[in-house]
Chains A and B, each alone.
Chain A
Amino acid sequence: MSDLRTELKKSIIEQLNLEELSIEEIDNDDSLFGDGLGLDSIDALELIVLLEKDYGIKLTDPYQGKEIFISINKMAEYIETHRTK
């Protein structure tokens, strides 16, 4: 369980070029957007790409992202139930 969360934090830092953040600084319940990590709309698209590339999850409706990309915990829960790889 926690391995997936750590893996997600690592991927997010790498894919979204959050060079000033470390894995330890991201709490599993931190908001990914807004006051949390401060991600933007382009980051949201990158997260959709990340789900498809790394876990075989294809989001057909981009608005689904709003419910999935709330926090690392929410993302991990969604991946655990929907991953195809």
Chain B
Amino acid sequence: MLWTAIHLACLTLDCIPQAPEEAFAVIERRRVVAANAAAQAAGVRAGQSLAAALALAPRLAWREREPALEAAALAGLVHWGLGYSSHVVPLPPRGLLIETGGSLKLFGGRGALIARLTGELAAQGFSASLASSPTPTGARMLAESGHDAHPETLTALRAVLPGLPAAALTAAAGFAATFATLGIATVADVLALPRDGLARRFGRDLVDELDRACGRLPDPVTPFVPPDTFRTVIALPAPTDSAALLACACGRALNQLENFLRAGRKAADRIDLALHHERAGRHDAPAACTALRLDFFEPTASAERFARILAERLDRLTLERRVERVAISVPVLLPAAAASASLLPAAGREGSGLLALFERLQARLGAEAIQGMATRPDHRPAHATAMPLVAREPATHHAFRARRADADLAARGPRPVWLVEPPRPLREIGGKPHHDGPLTLIAGPERIESGWWDGAPVARDYFIAQTPARALVWIFRERGLPPGWFLQGVFG
């Protein structure tokens, strides 16, 4: 087993997306808690008061510290880690452990895997230190001390550990002053002391932790189990109402969602977004919130598809007030259909491509702009056709139902390609109906009398007629009231 520990020293800063060239600081109770490189260059340090920081860097952007955001960022990283291994252990407040021993062969060896982890962390905007060792505690201690060491055996680990500062031991957290008095600075000093004396003076936990780090005692950790729902919050660096910025900020959360879904082999067909607007005053009524719901035609786990539909929806949305944070939640997770590659070059998986096309069209044009067609077994022409909205029905089911109905209706009389509904009355001149000139009746009549049972009775004689321009139209003479000739269709 090889455990890789990731320690996020600047999680307070990194959990808020920011531009690196702008000075930015995180404030807690009017005191600076963390400042980014540009702010530090201006002289801002942790512990200064907000007023002093603003005096040093007048263009400083600042934000209150929110533990919820840090927890959400850590959870997002845990989901990302699940893409590399099935054993991920979060170490709140700002670390996590990934069991990488089982993934070495897949990712091409320890060096390649560490490089890949580092690169992806940097791409997500986190500055982290990584270390790996055969024991979890050892890896954690190495990472928290900032040592970029990757001992592969216990002997190598026991050679590196003594060099770490004593503060790396969590059990020594309360004894910093005592250690300083006794002159204990590194783990080597702690190891040099007699074990019984250490246990009596500082507690059994310290000795046990040392043993676990060196591999003498078993070091069990509880792996993270993904919950049944996904929920995360993204903070925007500054309140905005630009759709492009919103879409960009949500991109990170959608990547987290994809990792989360793929780790649990699940898929989502509905995503709920809540856009929290900025408050009007400082401590006013709770901030207004715009709810947005994305529906997909099939359960999917692809971040690119989520992002595309979200971008279309955000384009169509008008925001009255600026948004300062976005909450994304997926209430229902569905099992994902595994995609198996085929040996032969496939002609293209028609189903998923077509459904993605419908999603895109619906996202931009609206659900009512896209309609399918269906026939209904009714003699009345206007009732014999239906245009249902394209819904999330499995294609085969719909096709089967339609095929049966079509088999009945194909046997009836000639029908026009285009339907004019409601029927357009035609002028009658000299006994002939007129539509762009006198019509010539060619075939007919087909008498349709039906529908007495639901209030729309029809009693008509249908004819096929030809206009002077040689277009074929479908007209009827109404046998009931109002009498006369009407145009019902055009034979396109």
**A-B interaction:** no
Interface, chain A (partner B; CB < 8 A) = none
